[in-house]
Amino acid sequence: MKLNFYTLLLAVCLLFASQAQARPDNPDLLKGANAIVELEETVFTVNSLSKGTTRVKTVITILNEGGKEHAKLYVPHDKLNKVDFLKGTSYDRNGKKIKSLKNSDIKDVSASSADNEVLHNRIMYADLTHSIYPYKVEFEYQTTSSNMLFYPAWVPLGSSKTSVAKATFQVLMPKGVKLRYRESNLPQKVKQEATATHDVYNWEISNLAPIESEPYGPNMLEILPMVRTAPSDFEVQGYKGNMETWESYGKWVSKLNEGRDVLPEATKKKLQTMVAGIDDPMEKIGKVYNYLQSNTRYVSIQLGLGGWQPFEASFVDTKGYGDCKALTNYTQSMLQAVGIPSIYALVNGGSNERAVLTDFPSSQFNHVILCVPMKQDTLWLECTSQFESAGFSGSFTGDRHALLITPEGGKLVKTQTYTAQDNLQSRVATVKLDETGNGVAQVQTRYTGVQHEDHRDILHHMSPEEQRKWLYRNIEIPAFDLKSFAFDLKKGRMPEVSEKLELSLRQCVTMSGKRMFLTPNLMNRWSTLPQNTGKRQWEVVRTTAYTDVDTVVYEMPAGYTLEFKPNDTSYTTAFGSYKASVQVKGREVRYVRTLQMHKGRFDPEVYPTMVEFMNNVYKADMQQLVFVKNVQ
């Protein structure tokens, strides 16, 4: 976990998700459901710019064991979010009370688990699990937040295999304070009313059957009925801001960082001496980034302002550690000291994160990186890694929106994107086989872009012994011994790992009497085949683009004649293309395979075509050559 604020929001969403309300007399709701939310009422009252209260009441019928998570309630809280009360009661199928929560039943535990994490986030937890189904649980609780950066998101159908009979969401805004909201997938829009003191926004939804996820489907948050809310004006611990535009939101973040960039003179001098005589800005950045990587480390200590405000640059300078905000702020200060301007940038880090909703300025980020504008393009620096190449922004922060933070305001920009050609795995192998079918292989592989990340990580985090074991686990050859291996990482804007393997192969070909069988695809056979479910509801989403090129040259044992050779194969689809060919010249067999996968979104109807393509690749990768022993 890099930053905790968005996680908190998500946790709150999930929580909402796990409570709701309904009508058990609708048989559709029983189909495929482990639990029915009979009723969920969420009321969010904004008391002032700096304070809000959320009250939630849920009644859930738990139909079977699969729904038992609904009998548990988790309410996260921290210094800025207090739990005012929490109640719960369970009832058996006849409506007879089983249990009411006592104070001693409510546990309070820390939300952090790792040794390198210190958070003030805690979770209140209550459990009303029962073992005779069906039974009903009712929870009611209220939290008060003084972190008004976040307004709740309402996701009535947030749990899988759960239906919702009825759910309501009400937001009460004091007169004159504006609510911003974004509705998605709702059958019924907001209904507004006004009282003497408040503007009231009401949402209601009923009879929602469970939504099932599908392989290669979109992120659930895209397809679920949902209302996101956000403030216009807000205040957190004395810091006032406005979120109506990315620009104004960025201004607020910038204010938090104000004055935290002061470096000790000695450090400034040291840095300036370090880059003295260097003209090339890229080289200067490299020096500073290297200094960062050798003198600091990432520790998740997120205590200031609900985890929002970075530690001062001088703190990181003396302690040598910080979280993503602190380390990014520190790097920015160091670059400043050597005359290179850079920009603090909020981003949603992770390999499978939902895209930022650009039309709804709000706190949607969980990580901070540094953006360095260059003459030709933009360089992105990940400041929490001791290993990353300067300017590489791969599956964790690449190809998405980031919010640049400047005193003038925020601005959304796209981070680095890599193409299918950039994310390359290119391999050349030569295999020499003896008459028993055993052999020796020399394999050289180059990994670039996103495809270099696995090797980058094992290079930095594993000892040679562990790397060896990793190779044994990951080399896809049925029986082999690893004679030697070597890795070489070339850091840079497009980092690259070269891998050299020497393998001794056991029964690389299968001998059956006078015949010899060879599957020429040595070590890169397609293996995942998704379920071909009948009718598909959602779009097909492919999130990764890459290219694999394999060339394998075999020297076959003497004394055999070719009996069968597979035809050259080629498939071209919207999802990717595949080409494999085999040439036999005397004792030499040359196999070339190129697979390129595209990313993108496709209509639901084309899903079977994608599965078929994958199965075709699977089959093609299993093709064999057959040789017959010459009669003496």
Partner 1 sequence: MKSQTSTLFVALAMLFCVGFTQVLGQSQPAKFGKLDDAELHMRTYDKDTSAAAVVLSDYGFSYFTYNKGFKVIFERHTRIKVLKKSGYDAANVSVPYYQRNSNKENVYNIKGYTYNQEGDKVTKDKLESKAVFDEQTSENWFAKKFAMPNVKEGSVIEYSYTISSDFLYNLREWEFQSTIPVAYSEYNVRIPEYFYYKQEQQGYLRFDVSTVERGRDRFTVTWSSEITPGMGGGRTSGGSSQVEANNETFRWVIKDAPALRPERYITTLNDYKSRIDFELQTVKYPGKLPEVMTGNWNQVTSDLLNAERFGSQLNRKGFFKAEVAAITAQHSKPEQQMAAIHSLVKSTVKWNGKNSYYTTGPIRKAFESRTGSAADINLMLTAMLQDAGLDAAPVLLSTREHGRVPQGSPMLSKFNYVVAHVNLEGKDYLLDATDPLLPAGMLPVRCLNGQGRLIKKEDQRWVALTPAGNNTKFFNGDLTVNPNGGMTGKVTESSAGYNALSLRKSILDEGEEKYAEKLSKEVGNYKVEKPVFSNVLELGKVLNIDYRLSASGNGQPVDVIYLNPMLGQGETDNPFKLEDRVYPVDLAVPIDYTYICRFNLPAGYDLDEAPKSTVITLPEDGGKFMYMIQREGNMVQVMSKINILKPVYYAPEYPYLKEFYAQIVAKHAEQLVLKRK
* DSSP codes joined into one string, 315-362: HHHHH-EE-HHHHHHHHHHHHHHTT---EEEEE--STTPPPP-TTS-S
Report, in Å, the least distance between residue 587 CB and partner 1: 21
CA dihedral 507→509→510→514, nearest 10 degrees, is -120
CB of 288 to partner 1, least distance (A): 16
φ and ψ at 468, to 5 degrees?
A: -60, -45
- By DSSP bridging, strand 35-48 and strand 162-174 are parallel
**Under rule CB under 8 A, which residues in 463-482 are in contact with partner 1?**
463-466, 469, 472-473, 478-481
Q: In angstroms, rounded to a whole number, what is the distance separating the alpha carbons of residues 3 and 303? A: 11
Scanning 395-403, 447-455, 526-534, 580-588 for contacts with partner 1 by CB under 8 A, the matching segment is 526-534
The answer to whether 562 contacts partner 1 (rule: CB under 8 A) is no
- CA distance linking residue 582 with residue 580, whole number of Å: 7
CA 462-464-465 angle, to 5 degrees, is 95
- For residue 365, CA distances in Å to 117, 393, 402, 501 come to 19, 16, 8, 41
Query: What element of type H or E holds 119?
Result: strand 117-119
- The reply on whether position 82 binds partner 1 by CB under 8 A is no
Q: Does 264 bind partner 1 (CB under 8 A)?
A: no
Which residues between 596 and 615 bind partner 1 (CB under 8 A)?
615
* Pick from 278, 271, 16, 62: nearest CA to 157: 16
Place of tokens 């670039």: 448
Stretch of residues binding partner 1 (CB under 8 A), selected from 216-224, 230-238, 507-515, 548-556: 507-515
Measured over the CA atoms of residue 404, residue 301, residue 242 and residue 41, the dihedral's sign is positive
Distance CA 147, CA 80 (A): 6
* 572 is a site residue for partner 1 (CB under 8 A): no
Cβ closer to partner 1: 352 or 463?
Answer: 463
Binding to partner 1 by CB under 8 A, coded x per residue (else -) over 98-117, reads ---------xxxx-x--xx-
Nearer Cβ to partner 1 (355/564): 564
Give the number of residues in contact with partner 1, rule: CB under 8 A: 60
Question: Residue 364 CB, nearest distance to partner 1 (Å)?
Answer: 28
- Determine phi and psi for 197, rounding to 5 degrees: -110, -25
Q: Left (φ > 0), alpha (ψ -120 to 50) or beta: where does 300 sit?
A: beta
Q: According to CB under 8 A, which residues from 191 to 220 bind partner 1?
A: none
Work out whether 626 is an interface residue with partner 1 (CB under 8 A): yes
CB of 383 to partner 1, least distance (A): 14
DSSP 147: B
Q: Is 478 buried (19+), middle (13-18) or exposed (0-12) by CB count in 10 A?
A: exposed
Q: Does 341 bind partner 1 (CB under 8 A)?
A: no
Using rule CB under 8 A, residue 531 touches partner 1: yes
* Contact with partner 1 (CB under 8 A) among 532, 544, 551, 569: 532
Q: Does 387 bind partner 1 (CB under 8 A)?
A: yes
Closest contact distance (angstroms) between CB of 483 and partner 1 is: 11
Position 498 contacts partner 1 (CB under 8 A): no
- Please provide the size of the chain in residues: 632
Q: What is the closest distance, in whole angstroms, from the C-beta atom of residue 116 to partner 1 in the complex?
A: 4
Rule CB under 8 A: which of 434-453 touch partner 1?
none
**7-15, 249-257, 408-416, 618-626 -> range binding partner 1 (CB under 8 A):** 618-626
- Is 515 a binding residue for partner 1 by CB under 8 A? The answer is yes
Q: Which listed range, 53-61, 166-174, 257-265, 291-299, lies at the site for partner 1 (CB under 8 A)?
A: 291-299
Binds partner 1 by CB under 8 A, chosen from 213, 290, 351, 507: 507
Bridge partners of 518, per DSSP, are 625
Q: Verify binding: residue 273, partner 1, rule CB under 8 A.
A: no
Out of 181, 216, 239, 321, the residue judged to bind partner 1 by CB under 8 A: 321
Q: Read out DSSP for 414-453? A: E-----TTTSEEEEEEEEEE-TTS-EEEEEEEEEEGGGGH
Q: Which of 194, 374, 529, 562 binds partner 1 (CB under 8 A)?
A: 529
Please give the residue ranges that form the binding site for partner 1 (CB under 8 A): 107-110, 112, 115-116, 118, 122, 129-132, 293-295, 297, 299, 301, 318-321, 386-387, 460-466, 469, 472-473, 478-481, 506-507, 510-515, 517, 529, 531-533, 563-564, 615, 618-619, 622, 624, 626
